[in-house]
Amino acid sequence: MTEVVLLAAALLVVGLVAAFLLRRRFLLSGLGAVTMWLRPSGSTRWSVGVGWYGGDTLLWYRALSLSVRPQERLCRSELRVDSRRGAGRGDLALPDDVVVLSCQTAAGPRELAMDPSCVTGFLSWVESAPPVR
């Protein structure tokens, strides 16, 4: 009996790991998908995830989740990048070489961090938004 329970538990763990890896692979396979850290205003915690930007929306999916829905949805016409900086002493969860963008959104201030190679494409996408009427 205990062998059956252990086998079922092992199969469950393998299934969850496979689902997690397949989800991550799917998220990173799309055009405009980048690894991106997000920190809401007033929070000290960075969350790593995958950002998909395209069309008029930035969709941000938490990396350590099995959810198929984005945790953040930022409209390009309501997104404004105020400043950029390197990772500082207070950003211990971030790699040293990322660029941190301070942004204003309809939901309030957010900070986004990404690799320097992704920043130019992201800023081009933000700046190419159609004018707000």
Q: Is residue 124 classed as helix, strand or coil in its secondary structure?
A: helix
State residue 96's pLDDT score. Answer: 86
State residue 30's pLDDT score. Answer: 67
State residue 107's pLDDT score. Answer: 84
pTM of the model: 0.77
pLDDT tens by residue, 19-65: 777 777 776 676 668 889 999 877 888 999 888 887 888 899 888 77
pLDDT tens by residue, 72-88: 899 888 889 999 999 88
Contact 42, 108 (CB under 8 A): no
State residue 90's pLDDT score. Answer: 79
State residue 127's pLDDT score. Answer: 87
Q: How many residues does the chain have?
A: 133
Q: Tokens in use for 131?
A: 């004018």
Q: Tokens in use for 106?
A: 């309809």
66 confidence band (pLDDT: 50, 70, 90): confident
State residue 92's pLDDT score. Answer: 82
Overall CATH class of domain 2-127? mainly beta
- CA distance linking residue 72 with residue 129, whole number of Å: 19
Token look-up 């992201």 returns 122
Q: Are strands 80-86 and 72-75 parallel, antiparallel or unpaired?
A: unpaired
Radius of gyration of the chain (CA): 18
* Residue 89, CA atoms < 13 Å, CB-side half-sphere: 0
What residue type is 110 in one-letter code? R
State residue 131's pLDDT score. Answer: 65
133 confidence band (pLDDT: 50, 70, 90): low
Q: List Cβ neighbours of 102 (8 Å cut-off, separation of 6 or more).
A: 81, 82, 83, 84, 85, 109, 111
